[in-house]
């Protein structure tokens, strides 16, 4: 077991190395010379050259790569070209809204989608199943920001139930915080819910055909307990897997959702950084999001052994 965990953790290293390489290439290939930008309009070519040497930009690729990695490992993410602030400071300022949004969405999505998927599997072929699956196909097909605008239009503008835009920090009261996140979470969760519900349905449907489900019914276990305990626990591996993979959708979707709802989070930071071509910031964000994604999927891998006793490594 310990060996298994160790192996899984070690397996992250090559993956993150590829990500880091890619991210570094991004900066290396980025158009525009940071030295020119820093030196300003009045600088002479000599000044630029001096700054370039000062930044170490004249040295070979791999030396710079190694140095950059060394900095990253020490949590030095560089400074923003645009604001001049350290990137780590920028990220720290913006992380709360994004983290809140993602966690709320994740909880909301898992709580709604799994029962929906189970329901659809139970009533497979009936109208309830069709409705849920139609919703799922729509969830896949309608882009995040469209969902966002429609939800905002209906629930905030027309019905005036919830705030249209903005974010209220958790420190200023949980009520407002939650209220502000409700629409963004519903928006972001849409694709995610569709994905999990569909996978749950397929997995549970497969399990419901098994002999041990019949045994459970023969023991006098009720319909609900059969579905949620006997069936779901067996169907858990694909469901948990897709919850992990779907985090990529959440990350991508957060970038858009934060724009739609004017939430000052990491997604907004990403969009702003792209529009300003602020490469150190883009770089750090890609690296950070990828790390989160890889770690989530590591957690999923480790969950398998808890969920399914047959899996032993």
Partner 1 sequence: MPDSLPLLEVVDLQTHFRTPDGINRAVDGVSFTVKAGETLAVVGESGCGKSVTAMSLLRLVPEPPGKIAGRILFQGRDLLALTEREMKAIRGKELSMIFQEPMTSLNPVLTIGFQLRETLRLHEKVDRRTAERRAIELLDLVGIPESRRRMSEYPHQLSGGMRQRVMIAIALACSPKLLIADEPTTALDVTIQAQILDLMTDLKRRIGAAIVLITHDLGVVAEVAERVMVMYAGRKVEEAPVADLFRAPKHPYTQGLLGAVPRLGASLLDAESKLLEIPGVVPSLKQRIVGCVFAGRCPHATDICREAMPALDVKAPNHIAACHHAATEPAAA
Partner 2 sequence: MIFVALFAPILGTVDPTAIAARLRTREPSALHWFGTDMLGRDLYSRVLYGARVSLIVGFSVAALSSIGGLAIGLFSGFFRAMDAVVMRVMDGIMSIPSILLAVALMALTRGSVGNVIIAITIAETPRVSRLVRGVVLSLREQAYVDAAITCGTRTPVIVLKHILPNALASIIVQATYVCASAMITEAILSFIGAGTPPFIPSWGNIMAEGRALWQVKFYIVLFPAIFLSMTVLAVNLLGDGLRDALDPRMTKAA
- Residues in contact with partner 2 by CB under 8 A are 14-19, 21-23, 26, 29-31, 124, 137-138, 140-146, 149-150, 153, 157, 164, 202, 205-206, 247-249, 251-253, 255-256, 259-260, 270-271, 273-275, 277, 279, 282, 285-286, 289-290, 293-294, 297
State the nearest-atom distance from the C-beta of 135 to partner 1, in Å: 25
| Distance from C-alpha of 106 to C-alpha of 121, rounded to nearest angstrom | 22
How near is the Cβ of 245 to partner 1 at its closest, in Å?
22
Q: Would you say 199 and 117 are in contact if contact means Cβ atoms under 8 Å apart?
A: yes
Choose from partner 1, partner 2, none: what does 277 bind? Cβ within 5-8 Å by kind: partner 2
Q: Which is nearer to partner 2, 7 or 174 (CB)?
A: 7
Q: Which of partner 2, partner 1, none binds 220 (CB below 5-8 Å, type-dependent)?
A: partner 1
Residue ranges of alpha helices (H) inside the chain are 2-29, 34-39, 45-55, 61-73, 87-122, 127-141, 144-151, 174-208, 211-218, 223-225, 232-245, 247-260, 266-275, 279-307
Residue 233 contact among partner 2, partner 1, none, beta carbon within 5 to 8 Å by kind: partner 1
Q: Which of 193, 186, 205, 189 is nearest to 120 (CA)?
A: 205
- Report CA-CA distances (Å) from 170 to 88, 107, 263: 21, 17, 13
82's contact among partner 2, partner 1, none, with CB below 5 to 8 A by partner kind, is none
**What is the smallest separation between the CB atom of 73 and partner 2, expressed in angstroms?**
18
User: For residues 156 and 221, which CB has a smaller minimum distance to partner 2 in the complex?
Assistant: 156
Which residue number, 104 or 278, has a Cβ lying nearer to partner 2? 278
By C-alpha distance, which of 100, 86, 31, 95 is closest to 270?
A: 95
Which residues contact partner 1 by CB under 8 A? 210-212, 214-223, 229-230, 233-234, 236, 307-310
Cβ-based burial of 275 (10 A; exposed 0-12, middle 13-18, buried ≥19): exposed
Ramachandran area for residue 126 (φ above 0: left; ψ -120 to 50: alpha; else beta): beta
By beta-carbon proximity to partner 2, the closer residue of 39 and 296 is 296
Question: Among residues 59 and 217, whose Cβ is nearest to partner 1?
Answer: 217
Distance CA 116, CA 71 (A): 46
């Amino acid at each position: 077991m310990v060996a298994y965990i160790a192996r899984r953790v070690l397996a992250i290293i090559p993956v993150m190395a590829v990500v880091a390489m890619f991210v570094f290439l991004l900066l290396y290939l980025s158009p525009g010379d940071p030295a020119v930008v820093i030196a300003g309009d009045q600088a002479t070519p000599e000044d630029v050259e001096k700054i370039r040497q000062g930044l170490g930009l004249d040295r070979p690729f791999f030396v710079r790569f190694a140095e950059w990695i060394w900095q990253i490992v020490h949590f030095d993410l560089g400074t923003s070209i645009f604001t001049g602030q350290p990137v780590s400071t920028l990220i720290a300022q913006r992380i709360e809204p994004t983290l809140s949004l993602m966690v709320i969405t994740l909880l909301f999505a898992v709580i709604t989608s799994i029962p929906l998927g189970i329901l659809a599997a139970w009533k497979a072929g009936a109208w309830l199943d069709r409705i849920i699956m139609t919703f799922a196909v729509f969830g896949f097909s309608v882009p995040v920001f469209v969902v966002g605008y429609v939800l905002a239009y209906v629930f905030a503008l027309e019905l005036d139930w919830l705030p249209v835009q903005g974010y209220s920090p958790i420190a200023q009261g949980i009520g407002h915080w939650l209220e502000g996140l409700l629409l963004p979470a519903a928006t972001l969760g849409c694709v995610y819910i569709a994905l999990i519900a569909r996978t749950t349905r397929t997995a549970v449907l497969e399990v419901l055909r098994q002999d041990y489900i019949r045994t459970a019914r023969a023991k006098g276990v009720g319909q609900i307990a059969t579905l949620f305990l006997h069936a779901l626990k067996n169907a858990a591996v694909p469901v948990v897997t897709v919850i992990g993979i779907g985090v990529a959708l959440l990350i991508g979707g957060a970038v858009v959702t934060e724009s739609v709802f004017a939430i000052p989070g990491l997604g907004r930071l990403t969009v702003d950084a792209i529009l300003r071509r602020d490469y150190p910031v883009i770089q750090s964000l890609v690296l950070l999001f990828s790390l989160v994604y890889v770690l989530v999927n590591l957690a999923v891998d480790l969950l398998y052994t808890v969920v399914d006793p047959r899996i032993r490594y």
